[in-house]
Amino acid sequence: MKNITLSANEASILAGNKLLKNTYLLLSMTLLFSAVTAGAAMTLDLPHPGFMITLVGYFGLLFLTTKFRNSAWGLVFVFALTGFMGMTLGPILNLYIKAFSNGHELILMALGGTGVIFLGLSGYALTTKKDFSFMGGFLMVGILVAFLAGIGAMVFAIPALSLAVSAMFVLLMSGMILWQTSDMIHGGETNYIMATISLYVSIFNLFTSLLQILGVIGGDD
């Protein structure tokens, strides 16, 4: 019985390690691909597709990625989704470069801050192996509230609310990184494609939120 238990534990550990390896490998590839598409959009000076097209494109590709997550098509759609998000990011970055004389510095600061937060929180969850599953419900509600507040800030053009929403998203996305990493460690998530999407979206929103905050407090017109 002891040998059987040890074998089961070893199998669980190996499966967990494989999941983490595949997730971080795919995440790095999608982030690179997203950076390429963002750079292409910046070079071509493409206009932003708009809120509705972005929303439809994101949820449509997310649905397809989720539906085909257990097949090779899942990889196709995960790259389509992250590439699309990169295309929507390019015009935003161009806007900051044109609007602020220190636009390049703001982008690099947001990028550096995102990297530090992601690596720090992921490293903490992986090292301590704490279970953050209790955060799931709170994070889902918080993201919904922040999303609705963001729409309100956009519709009614309330800069203070928009800044507050960005701050909320920084906290919520940081929590999502902890939660998703913990979920992989403790067997709550077993599909590396879905884990990759969750982490990618958290990183994307974390970066754009930090960029917006830096633009308000550190932008040099």
The secondary structure of 69-119 as a DSSP string is TTSHHHHHHHHHHHHHHHHHHHHHHHHHHHH-TTHHHHHHHHHHHHHHHHH
Per the rule left: phi > 0, alpha: psi between -120 and 50, beta: everything else, 191 is: beta
CA atoms of 169 and 205, how far apart (whole Å) = 7
How far is it between the farthest Cα atoms of the chain? 70
Q: Work out the average pLDDT over 69-77.
A: 95
Q: Phi, psi at residue 143, to the nearest 5°?
A: -65, -40
What burial letters (b/e) apply to 152-163, b meaning 16+ CB within 10 Å? ebeeeeeeeebb
Q: Is residue 213 within 8 Å of residue 107, measured between CB atoms?
A: no
Please give the structure tokens belonging to residue 169: 């998203």
Contact 99, 221 (CB under 8 A): yes
How many C-beta atoms surround the C-beta of residue 174 within 10 A? 16
Q: What is the pTM of this model?
A: 0.91
- pLDDT value at position 36? 97
Residue 50 in 3-state DSSP? Answer: coil
Alpha helix locations (H) across the chain?
2-43, 51-67, 72-99, 103-128, 136-155, 159-185, 192-218
Percent of the chain with pLDDT over 70: 91
What pLDDT, on a 0 to 100 scale, did the predictor assign at position 157? 79
The model's pLDDT over 16-70, given as tens digits with 9 standing for 90+, comes to 688 999 999 999 999 999 999 999 999 999 999 998 999 999 999 999 999 999 9
Domain that holds residue 130: 2-218
Q: How many domains does the chain have?
A: 1
Under 8 Å CB-to-CB from 122, ≥6 apart: which residues?
177, 181
